[in-house]
Amino acid sequence: MFQNFDFGVVASSLPYLFGQGMVFTLTLTALAATGGVVFGTLLAMMRLSGVPGLWHAAKLYVELMRSLPLVLVIFWFYFLVPYIGAWMTGSPNPIQVGAFTSALITFTLFEAAYFAEIMRAGIQSIPKGQTAAAQALGMGYAQTMRLVVLPQAFRNMLPLLLTQTIVLFQDTSLVYVLSLTDFLGAASKVAQRDGRLVEMYLFAALVYFAVCLAASFLVRRLQARVAIIR
Amino acid sequence: MTDSPITGSTATPAPAAAAQAAPSDSGLQPGTLIEPARQRAPGTAMIAIDAISKWYGDFRVLHECTTAVAKGEVVVVCGPSGSGKSTLIKCVNALEPFQKGQITVDGTKIADKATNLPKLRSRVGMVFQHFELFPHLSITDNLTIAQRKVLGRPKEEAHKRGLDLLARVGLSAHAKKFPGQLSGGQQQRVAIARALAMNPVVMLFDEPTSALDPEMVGEVLDVMVELAREGMTMMVVTHEMGFARKVADRVIFMDQGEIVEDAGKDDFFGKPRSERAQTFLSKILQH
């Protein structure tokens, strides 16, 4: 069955696939995940703040983002961000931010909604008594969150956060709609150019599988290391 | 003047003679009445609770509760579950808001909008039923985090004070461990040391032994008895009537959100006036 396969095409395109494609994928994943966690924490704290305005705004945002297909959001932001930029800077013309920046903003904002829900669950999983103990020692809200609640919540959430990041790693392949070249996009280009679709897509699938499997393994190892002794 | 060994505070000095009369390592016998030695300063209320009421929606949890704890006094609060005793003690450091009345702690009014609550709380030690040590921090960090981040003490000073107190509660060997590695009784002793590290003017105990296995109750009560003997002002919600007999000056009995009885220890145990207190005592002293 494999006699017609030419895996030489894979070998010869490795520098391009990894040097450009995979670097792009990993960069986008890392930046979007970092931004998503920061913004997501903020959203989660807004939702838990009990301040009606903040609570509603965060809830609306999270519900909206989670109801839309990611591809739609990517398109939407790609066309919208230049106009928002123009509106914010008062420029008469749309500000061209470039496809990468647009994609980064999109993934950050989109993932933040998912991270926020993970955070919210994580923060709520910390017993009320811990907050009370921190307050009883004289800590204010910010100190209570920073020193007591969030460090514990992060440990509890770590597996979910990283699993969500693995999903993000796969989702970044959707940037092809903006003509950006991630790992899958690079494989796709080579496949089309050399007419070796089966080999390239098979290889790409293998790489995604290997990366995600390794990441899941690392998550479990990390989880065991940072777990709180109870 | 010698600093008291546990409190390390000169605010509530224990007279030297009294310290000799009540050595800290005395084998404590249940039921013996050892008159607590401390400097009483009549009229200077450390905690003044003035007609406070609290509702959860329509449900009244506290009704017109009024009492006071003088400097150096040990007051035990008891009562059936749901009587509001835990809620009352949590009102004292404003962990629970109340709708009516006023509580004054060491001259600071809690219900005053201008009051800096975190600052006030940093001077009021609290020990919880479920210990509430921070599980992600080592014992040492548990003892020092608030000293450093709230009081702004230098690291070395906080360390020294934390480890001194850890030694006082007999747990020096566990400084590098995490709370989850200690028994309940040990955790509660660390929690007491953590509260004391802040040099509190008063200590609140909210059922400190209720979550403990029976064989661990003693070690925690021993620390509390010693603390009481050193002259710490204490408000203790507990069912440990042995503890109350041993060190309490006054006993407050609560039922259905009201302070039903507020009497000196001997009066309370000798001849409780209210029927409800009599029933309660007969129930818990039966076994």
- Pick A224 or B62 by higher pLDDT: B62
Cα-trace Rg, chain B: 18
**Fold of the domain built from segment(s) A8-226:** MetI-like fold (1.10.3720)
Contact flag B95-A152 (C-beta cutoff 8 Å): no
Structure tokens at A123: 């923060």
Q: Does residue A2 surpass a pLDDT of 70?
A: no
Closest-CA residue of chain B to A147: B145
Structural domains of chain B, count: 1
Contacts of A135 in chain B (CB under 8 A): 95, 118, 121
Whether residue B143 is contained in a domain is answered as yes
In the three-class reduction of DSSP (H, G, I as helix; E, B as strand; rest coil), residue A14 is classed as helix
Contact flag A138-B121 (C-beta cutoff 8 Å): yes
Contacts of A143 in chain B (CB under 8 A): 149-150
Digit-coded pLDDT (tens) for A17-44: 998 999 999 999 999 999 999 999 999 9
| pLDDT, position B13 | 43
Structure tokens at A197: 């679709």
Whether residue B136 is contained in a domain is answered as yes
Q: How far apart are CA A106 and CA A39, in angstroms?
A: 12
CB neighbours of A179 closer than 8 A, spacing ≥ 6? A99
Q: Does residue A89 surpass a pLDDT of 70?
A: yes
Digit-coded pLDDT (tens) for B197-210: 999 999 999 999 99
Closest-CA residue of chain B to A135: B118
Amino acid (1-letter code) at residue B80: P
From the list B95, B133, B180, the residue facing A136 with the nearest CB is: B95
How do the domains of chain A map onto residue ranges?
8-226
From the list A132, A147, A230, the residue facing B128 with the nearest CB is: A132
| pLDDT, position A3 | 66
The residue range of the domain holding B262 is 45-285
Contacts of B128 in chain A (CB under 8 A): 129, 132-133, 136
Q: Do the Cβ atoms of B129 and B156 come closer than 8 Å?
A: no
| pLDDT, position A196 | 87
Structure tokens at A29: 């994943």
Query: Where are the alpha helices (H) located in B68-213, listed in sequence order?
Result: 85-92, 117-121, 139-149, 155-168, 184-196
- Quick check: A130 contacting B, CB < 8 Å? yes
In the three-class reduction of DSSP (H, G, I as helix; E, B as strand; rest coil), residue A112 is classed as helix
| pLDDT, position A158 | 87
Whether residue B12 is contained in a domain is answered as no
Contact flag B132-A132 (C-beta cutoff 8 Å): yes
Q: How far apart are CA B122 and CA B115, in angstroms?
A: 13
**Residue B105, beta-bridge partner list:** B47, B108
Digit-coded pLDDT (tens) for B82-99: 899 999 999 999 999 999
Digit-coded pLDDT (tens) for B114-155: 999 999 999 999 999 999 999 999 999 999 999 999 999 999
Q: Does residue A230 surpass a pLDDT of 80?
A: no
From the list A133, A138, A152, the residue facing B136 with the nearest CB is: A152
From the list A135, A151, A230, the residue facing B180 with the nearest CB is: A230
Whether residue B30 is contained in a domain is answered as no
- Quick check: B108 contacting A, CB < 8 Å? no
Contact flag B118-A139 (C-beta cutoff 8 Å): yes
- Quick check: B151 contacting A, CB < 8 Å? yes
Q: Does residue A133 surpass a pLDDT of 90?
A: yes
| pLDDT, position B38 | 35
Q: How much is the mean pLDDT over chain A?
A: 90
Contacts of A127 in chain B (CB under 8 A): 130, 132
**Interface confidence (ipTM) of the complex:** 0.82
Helical packing angle, A23-48 and A99-124, nearest 10° = 40
- Supply the CATH number for residue B80's domain: 3.40.50.300
Whether residue B139 is contained in a domain is answered as yes
